[in-house]
Amino acid sequence: MQKKITLLLLLAFSCQLFAQTVTIKARPSDAAPHISKHIYGHFAEHLGRCIYDGFYVGEDSKLPNTVGVRNDIIEALRALKIPNLRWPGGCFADTYHWKDGIGPKENRPTIVNQWWGGSTEDNSFGTHDFLNLCELLDTEPYLSANVGSGTVRETEEWLQYTTHDGISPMADLRRSNGREQPWRVRYWGVGNEAWGCGGNMTAEYYANIYRQFATYMRDWNLQDDTPVFRIASGASGDDYQWTETLMKNIKPDLVEALALHHYAVTDWSDKGPSVSFDETQYFGTMREALKMEEFVVKHAAIMDRYDPEKKIALFVDEWGGWYDTEPAYEAGVLYQQNTMRDAMIAGTTLNTFNNHADRVKMANLAQTVNVLQAVILTDAEKMLLTPTYHVMKMYAVHQDATLIPLSFDSPKYTLGDEQLPAISASASRDSSGKVHFSLVNIDARKSHTIKIEAAALQLSKLSGEILSSAAIQDYNDFDTPGKISTETFRGASLRQGTISLEIPPFSVIVLKGE
């Protein structure tokens, strides 16, 4: 009898282990889409300490800087290979009048930031400062035009000011302000969140306004490689009717992309803490983050009906985790810490974008410095890189690579009566032939064994790196800025075309195969 009980226990244990094994099939295809590097974009708004006391400390600062921008931030973002940077908002964009931010700084008018804290800004960081910063970072600028409180003429003149190389009033004004050659500005947002802070418009009304603005946004610079790329203010989350209305009412020759915004928030009236959360709060955040898959699929399906050739891109130009502001930083609006939970949001969300690269052509993490799911935090002269920064750097290998479609059934991460897929994955092959797999396990308690059937990829060598920590609430602070960082991962083996590994709870692994 005892032997029978022992055998049953062993069988039960074996079944449990078998149930936790994930078999991923890699299916390279000549028809697979290109993963645009712009999926790895960023967002910088005049909000809290993102611009002032974040990026920008001023030319007279004792902190090492280049024309007022912190050198340590420039160095960190260069290492991240950020492909684009969206500015000046966000909600701030539809109160921003660009001419207030040009010319001698001592002559610029002040502005009250009515959306974020009611602070008074001196406009010392304006168009020249931002576009010069993008050149320092070797990144493409993405300007958000003021539709909510601005005019068609104001937007058209901004386009002319920044991009026209000939003789015109705005090009001449730019030259008088010290910039002879135009900048390369391709991406232009036509308003932001028109359904909310951008004007509380209906979709039908915004479609009409959009058509008016887009009609006058011409290719002033006449450079064949830099046509104006106009982005319509798109839906929030599951507002599929907004996407339907825009696709139905905007002529295809007037729009190059629709935006989509989604934040991983469980309760907008009580977002919860950024550090002292429990597993229930973590599970809820991940449930909201994983909705990105559903939103991308369903918005893309609507777009497919009107645009089967996929000429119009989907830009998820605001995404990330959003929690209550850290109490010690109330003056720094939307300042929050960044834990391993945020690494899970970043890893799973980027996998979603990679896997839908046929329609998703840009995404912008909110935000770059000191705001929401920032990749960089600063405190006076101190600076640190967050877990999200490390995930973005690990995933940079997918930029401009070719997607390798994967198929698998994920085990479940279970809490009470709820379940979520525990494993997220994407893969690509770069121009040199190297293959990369990005794997995430969001389960707060269980490791999972993964086997990747990769014989078709003809790999002979394998390496990897991992981001993990002892607790899901762990984060980097200014006393221990290196507590969480990537490490070499040696736990993967490659035998007869099959990759085998065990992925720990709440961890991110990127494998390189050659």
Active site positions, annotated: 193, 318
Integer Cα distance of 180 and 164 in angstroms: 10
Of the candidates 375, 313, 294, the residue with the CA atom closest to the CA atom of residue 36:
313
Is beta strand 229-236 parallel, antiparallel or unpaired with respect to 257-264? Answer: parallel
Of the candidates 427, 331, 438, 423, the residue with the CA atom closest to the CA atom of residue 392:
438
Largest CA-CA distance found in the chain, in angstroms, rounded: 96
Integer Cα distance of 188 and 362 in angstroms: 13
Q: Which residues pair with 407 in a beta bridge?
A: 25
> Using an 8 Å Cβ cutoff, are 86 and 189 in contact?
yes
Integer Cα distance of 219 and 229 in angstroms: 9
Task: Give the count of alpha carbons within 13 A of 504, CB side only.
Answer: 15
Q: 3-state SS string over 140-155?
A: EEEEEECCCCCCHHHH
| SS3 call for 511 | strand
b/e sequence 240-252, b meaning 16+ C-beta within 10 Å: eebbbbbbeebee
Integer Cα distance of 503 and 34 in angstroms: 27
Of the candidates 427, 436, 438, the residue with the CA atom closest to the CA atom of residue 405:
427
> Using an 8 Å Cβ cutoff, are 47 and 369 in contact?
no
> Using an 8 Å Cβ cutoff, are 41 and 134 in contact?
no
Other CB atoms within a 10 A radius of the CB of residue 419 amount to 13
Integer Cα distance of 355 and 362 in angstroms: 13
Other CB atoms within a 10 A radius of the CB of residue 472 amount to 19
Token match 């991009």: residue? 163
The H or E element spanning position 264 is strand 257-264
**How far is Cα of residue 44 from the mean position of the Cα atoms in its chain?**
11
Is beta strand 313-321 parallel, antiparallel or unpaired with respect to 257-264? Answer: parallel
| SS3 call for 171 | helix
Beta strands in 113-225 (DSSP E): 120-121, 140-145, 187-190
Here the tokens at position 98 are 């660009």
Burial of 500 (0-12, 13-18, 19+ CB in 10 A): middle
> Using an 8 Å Cβ cutoff, are 23 and 498 in contact?
no
Integer Cα distance of 399 and 334 in angstroms: 29
